[in-house]
Amino acid sequence: MTGEERLSIEPSHLAFARALLDTIRRDVGIRTDARPVIGIAGESGSGKSITATALAQVLRETGCSTVVLHQDDYFLRPPRANHQHRCGDLASVGPQEVDLTRLATHVAAFRTGRDAVGPAVDHRLDAFHTRPLPLAQATVLIVEGTYVLDLDDLDVRIFLEATHQDTVERRRRRNRDVDAPIVDQVLAIEHGLIAPYAERAHLLIDRDFVVRLRR
């Protein structure tokens, strides 16, 4: 089951995605027929995955073949193993936990019109599988995750401003994060690492999902 398949997309998500797409075209000046790469970043529970998935669905409805790459699939260790590693070494928390080089390689494959084989996390088995990435025929690539604005080759950079403190209920409903006291420490560390990415974004989305152009 992919990240997109785990999500429940509601009409309100699609309405927001349509408005976001209009903003991307109007305010950022990106044409979806120019094979853009869109990066969506933010803290845990901020709405990255739902925004990326809803935007992809809206793009497909307009005839744009769209592939979404989820950073969760590119961690060096699967979720429960990564949690155990963090318990022994909180200094490991950060972008170094993610194979951003491999993710950048798949962005490059999209740029050059090549298909690829990518990772796919299996939360139930706590393991990674592989999945085909149909990048050659795609016209839009969306990359989402906490640290994706570290990637150089992005045409549109979007940052969701909701913090881990804003999204406690959302994360509880998702019920995917390991429930342990150390999680709060991890989220606090991630906040310090992720918040500065707002300065790299073209578009900012606040906790009420209001979009504005970063000045």
Going from the N-terminus, what domains does the chain have, and what CATH number goes with each? 3-213 (3.40.50.300)
pLDDT at 1 (0 to 100): 46
Q: Residue type at 48?
A: K
Q: Is the pTM of this model over 0.85?
A: yes
**DSSP states of 103-129 as a string?**
HHHHHHHHHTT--EEEEEEETTTTEEE
Name which of 189, 206, 208, 210 is nearest 198 in CA terms: 206
Q: Residue type at 198?
A: A
pLDDT in tens, the chain (215 residues): 455 556 789 999 999 999 999 999 999 998 888 999 999 999 999 999 999 999 999 999 999 999 999 999 999 999 999 999 999 999 999 999 999 999 999 999 999 999 999 999 999 999 999 999 999 999 999 999 999 999 999 999 999 999 988 877 666 666 555 556 788 899 999 999 999 999 999 999 999 999 999 97
pLDDT at 177 (0 to 100): 53
